[in-house]
């Protein structure tokens, strides 16, 4: 046991101290932060004026949408059908349709667009609508108070009852006028992101395991070491050590990306309207209060604030603790499942150039999982999604995507998938260790699959 710790320590320390590790740790977050910050920056910086046509069947929102530097609103008085057909031909950015409701206040709207709707525009519309609705509700309450019919109403109750939320469905209109509904973006992004992250992690650190094994073989140090420790200990120590390097890098990325994005966005807001950065953070946290405190602001700074607001609101809709817990599980066990195979391949060859023929069984299922991910997103509870999330070869990627969506009460599926992955890991490690212990002592021999199969029977 002590020896495994020694091996883990060596594998970990030699890698963490490498220059490439430090460079990757710094560059990674800069890159990721850029991916987050740049679009926000561009979206707000763009000079192009977007025109949004509004069809308001309710009449509640007339003149409520204020033009800003980047967005102009103009109201149409026509029915939605003709507006939609003329929209495709017009140069308008988007078409906002607020359908008439009979009894209640309107709480939903549809936003038609030719391309993905700018999140700023969407959140602005949403803010204006909810604020207007709150006003309407407040008016009604105040009227009630005046009539004195409900004297028990307290201010708190009022605040609570006027809290209005608005759903905006975005619909993309293609050139042929076909409508496609956008998916719940946040789940999709989160699912894809975590799936791809696991995919990369497996490849990146799995091939480090493989390279490490090949290095020991070509260095000819392997026999020195296996005369002191069991090959299995060496293999597991290597896998664990490199896995911990991966986790370290991942954690550093999360922390660094988080701080860069926070600093980046707040300093960038600061530039827009000095002195309001703190205020905006507050807004983000107390979204319900903002409407009352700062009514009718429609400048671009406000939009930036709402952007944070929007993202936060969307993130709040996901049970993060739930997702992260499983993410860590699939992250670790997905890696462990494949790392043993990578180690076995490394042991069977003499140089990295020879690994090609054996990489297929690893590459194929992983690439397949990523390819299938887009279908799984469309149907997160369909049969493909189900089977791919059960098979250990694809489950780390596919299950993460499914988990980001609401899986309902099918917890047994998660547990079954996890159990199968653990079993798969044990089976893989068992097979891999048999190949490994024979392979590491084999030099100058081109190995075939038939050969590997025979190695399973050797007594070591």
Residues that bind another protein (CB under 8 A): 3, 6-7, 10, 14, 215-216, 219-229, 231, 441, 443, 454, 458-460
CB of 452 to another protein, least distance (A): 13
CB of 443 to another protein, least distance (A): 7
Closest CB to another protein among 144 and 352? Answer: 352
CB of 359 to another protein, least distance (A): 24
Decide: 188 and 318 in contact? Cβ < 8 Å: no
Closest CB to another protein among 208 and 308? Answer: 208
Closest CB to another protein among 14 and 78? Answer: 14
Determine how many CB atoms are found less than 10 A away from the CB of residue 193: 13
Closest CB to another protein among 154 and 219? Answer: 219
CB of 212 to another protein, least distance (A): 10
Closest CB to another protein among 333 and 455? Answer: 455
CB of 23 to another protein, least distance (A): 16
Closest CB to another protein among 236 and 362? Answer: 236
CB of 226 to another protein, least distance (A): 5
CB of 247 to another protein, least distance (A): 22
Q: Any alpha helices (H) in 46-92, and if so which ranges?
A: 80-89
The full DSSP string for 290-347 is HHHHSTT--SHHHHHHHHHHHHHHHHHTS-HHHHHHHHHHHHHHHHHHHHHHHHHHHH
Closest CB to another protein among 224 and 294? Answer: 224
CB of 22 to another protein, least distance (A): 15
Closest CB to another protein among 271 and 454? Answer: 454
């Amino acid at each position: 046991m002590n020896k495994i710790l020694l091996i883990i320590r060596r594998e970990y320390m030699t890698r963490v101290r490498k220059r490439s590790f430090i460079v990757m740790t710094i560059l990674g977050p800069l890159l990721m932060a850029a991916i987050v910050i740049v679009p926000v920056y561009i979206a707000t910086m763009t000079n192009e004026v977007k025109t949004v046509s509004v069809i308001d069947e309710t009449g509640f929102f007339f003149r409520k949408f204020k033009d800003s530097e980047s967005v102009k609103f103009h109201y149409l008085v026509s029915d939605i059908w003709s507006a939609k057909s003329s929209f495709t031909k017009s140069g308008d950015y988007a078409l906002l349709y607020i359908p008439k409701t009979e009894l209640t206040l309107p709480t939903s709207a549809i936003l038609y667009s030719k391309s993905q709707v700018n999140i700023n525009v969407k959140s602005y519309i949403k803010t204006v609508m909810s604020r207007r609705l709150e006003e309407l509700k407040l008016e009604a309450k105040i009227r009630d108070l005046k009539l004195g019919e409900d004297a028990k109403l307290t201010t708190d109750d009022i605040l609570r009852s006027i809290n209005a939320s608005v759903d905006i469905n975005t619909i993309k209109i293609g050139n042929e006028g076909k409508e496609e509904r956008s998916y719940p973006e946040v789940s999709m992004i989160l699912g894809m992101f975590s799936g791809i992250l696991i995919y990369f992690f497996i490849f990146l650190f799995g091939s480090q395991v493989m390279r490490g094994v090949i290095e020991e073989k070509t260095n000819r140090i392997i026999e020195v070491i296996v005369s002191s420790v069991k090959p299995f200990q060496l293999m597991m120590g290597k896998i664990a050590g490199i896995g911990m390097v991966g986790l370290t890098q991942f954690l550093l990325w999360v922390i660094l990306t988080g701080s860069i994005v926070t600093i980046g966005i707040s300093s960038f807001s600061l530039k827009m309207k000095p002195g309001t950065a703190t205020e905006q953070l507050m807004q983000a946290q107390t979204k319900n209060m903002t409407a009352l405190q700062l009514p009718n602001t429609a400048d671009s700074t406000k939009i930036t604030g709402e952007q944070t607001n929007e993202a936060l609101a969307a993130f709040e809709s996901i049970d993060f603790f739930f997702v992260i817990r499983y993410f860590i599980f699939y992250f670790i066990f997905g890696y462990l499942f494949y790392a043993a195979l990578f180690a076995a391949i490394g042991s069977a060859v003499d140089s990295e150039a020879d690994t090609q023929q054996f990489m297929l069984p690893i590459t194929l299922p992983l690439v397949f999982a990523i390819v299938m991910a887009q279908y799984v997103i469309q149907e997160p509870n369909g049969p493909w999604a189900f089977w791919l999330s059960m098979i250990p070869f694809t489950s780390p990627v596919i299950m993460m995507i499914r988990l980001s969506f609401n899986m309902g009460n099918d917890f047994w599926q998660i547990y079954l998938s996890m159990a199968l992955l653990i079993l798969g890991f044990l089976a893989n490690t068992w097979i891999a260790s048999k190949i490994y212990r024979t392979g590491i002592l084999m030099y100058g021999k081109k190995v075939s699959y038939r050969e590997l199969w025979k190695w399973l029977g050797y007594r070591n």
